[in-house]
């Protein structure tokens, strides 16, 4: 089964387009986990990250189709953090969740192949990291994307190419015009071309796109420009994106997009609106409540 089919089926099965972002941070961990860290060694923090993320997975696995571990927060701990990342991805995969590894990788073609081999797979053809999909930078051009597409064809994985990112400075390059079109528009066209011969029964291909919730006008424009791409929409919650802002990302059946929230869910115990009710002691309940709340906010269809 292709990546797009698996993801859309998971959306239909859970009735959710929420993607829970796994971005562990030492200072924000709930007290029961943070206080149990016995030394300041990376190994000790990495064990805490594994416990925290795996417990989040256990809390949300019946509520959402996917999770998105952010590689940076694990890499920050060095080799021990990479071991933790592997454990977290494996636990998510074994829990039946689709894993989007957020690494924003890419390089010249031969090196891109190595990244693709590392992260793209499916239950039938698992990747070494057990990840289904990867975020990918388009900056090196078409020949750097193609090795990922080949891996998607061979192993049923998927990619999410950065098109219009959620950060305030993304427009510095992405919004520039060349040949009467924005740079993000050119990236969208490339994605649409590459997907055209790879569509599943619902009309989706393996090449998805990252488009930020913080740019709702461009989100609507890019939904139309990339009808065959599943959109990964970060920027919901902590960065200010709202349900209204992301509505345009979904297709008429409420699928075709996943909306990520990291801090707003995993650190919900400390959110001003939830801290009093839950706090550190009931952090699992806060994660579940925040996930259910996001699911409800994003139920546009059905
Ligand atoms: O354009 C982008 C691409 C990726 N991200 C990543 O998503 C999460 C967002 O975290 P929040 O806590 O929900 O703000 C994080 O891992 C980013 O690196 C993004 O925000 N924007």
Q: What is the mean pLDDT of each run of 10 residues along the chain (302 residues)?
A: 96 97 98 97 98 98 98 98 98 98 97 98 96 98 98 97 98 98 98 98 97 98 98 98 96 93 98 97 98 95 55
Question: Does the annotation count 104 as an active-site position?
Answer: yes
Residue nearest to atom 3 of ligand 1 (CA): 165
Question: Closest by alpha carbon to 164, among 235, 254, 257, 261?
Answer: 235
The β-bridge partners of 234 are: none
Is this model's pTM higher than 0.90 or not?
Answer: yes
Q: Is 117 in the pocket of ligand 1 (CB under 6 A)?
A: no
Q: Determine if ligand 1 sits within 6 Å of the CB of residue 174.
A: no
Closest residue (by CA) to atom 11 of ligand 1? 262
Q: What six digits make up the tokens of 105?
A: 């990788």
List the residue whose alpha carbon is closest to atom 1 of ligand 1. 165
Task: Decide: 165 in ligand 1 pocket, CB within 6 A.
Answer: yes
Q: Can you give the pLDDT at residue 165?
A: 98
State how far the Cα of 68 lies from the Cα of 54, in Å rounded to an integer: 13
Q: Is the CB of 263 under 6 A from ligand 1?
A: yes
What is the C-alpha to C-alpha distance for residues 139 and 184, in angstroms, rounded to an integer?
11
pLDDT of 252? 87
Q: How many angstroms separate the CA atoms of 19 and 241, rounded?
A: 14
Q: What does the pLDDT read at residue 274?
A: 97
| CA of 22 relative to ligand 1 center, distance in Å | 10
- Ligand 1 near 166 CB (within 6 A): yes
For 186, counting Cβ atoms within 10 Å of its Cβ (0-12 exposed, 13-18 middle, 19+ buried), the class is: middle
CATH (residue range 3-297): 3.20.20.70
**Tokens, residue 266:** 């995993």
Question: Where do we find the tokens 């417990």?
Answer: 55
Query: Helix H segments across 15-41?
Result: 31-34
Q: Would you give the DSSP letter of residue 132?
A: S
DSSP designation for 241: B
52 alpha carbon, distance to own chain's centre:
18
- CA quadruple 12, 13, 14, 20: dihedral positive or negative? negative
CA distance 106 to 118: 12
Whole-number pLDDT of residue 300: 77
Among 68, 104, 277, 299, the one annotated catalytic = 104
């Amino acid at each position: 089964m292709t990546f797009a089919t698996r993801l859309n089926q998971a959306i239909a099965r859970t009735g959710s387009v929420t993607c829970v972002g796994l971005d562990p941070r030492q200072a924000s961990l709930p007290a029961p986990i943070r206080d149990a860290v016995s030394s300041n060694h990376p190994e000790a923090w990495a064990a805490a990250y594994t416990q925290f993320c795996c417990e989040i997975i256990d809390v949300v696995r019946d509520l959402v189709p996917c999770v998105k571990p952010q590689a940076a927060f694990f890499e920050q701990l060095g080799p021990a953090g990479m071991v933790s990342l592997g454990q977290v991805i494996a636990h998510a995969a074994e829990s039946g969740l689709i894993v989007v590894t957020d690494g924003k990788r890419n390089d010249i073609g031969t090196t891109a192949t190595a990244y693709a081999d590392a992260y793209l797979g499916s239950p039938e053809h698992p990747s070494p990291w057990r990840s289904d999909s990867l975020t990918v930078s388009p900056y090196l051009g078409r020949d750097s994307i193609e090795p990922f597409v080949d891996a998607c064809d061979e192993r049923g994985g998927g990619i999410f190419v950065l098109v219009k990112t959620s950060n305030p400075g993304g427009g510095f390059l992405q919004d520039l015009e060349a040949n009467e079109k924005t740079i993000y528009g050119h990236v969208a066209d490339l994605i649409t071309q590459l997907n055209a011969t790879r569509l599943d029964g619902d009309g989706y291909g393996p090449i998805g796109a990252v488009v930020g919730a913080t740019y709702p006008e461009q989100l609507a424009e890019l939904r139309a420009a990339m009808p065959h791409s599943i959109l990964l929409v970060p920027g919901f919650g902590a960065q200010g994106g709202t349900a209204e802002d992301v509505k345009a990302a979904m297709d008429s059946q409420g699928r075709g997009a996943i909306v990520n929230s990291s801090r707003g869910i995993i650190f919900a115990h400390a959110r001003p609106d939830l801290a009093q009710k839950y706090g550190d002691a009931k952090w699992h309940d806060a994660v579940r409540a925040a996930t259910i709340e996001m699911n409800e906010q994003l139920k546009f269809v059905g």
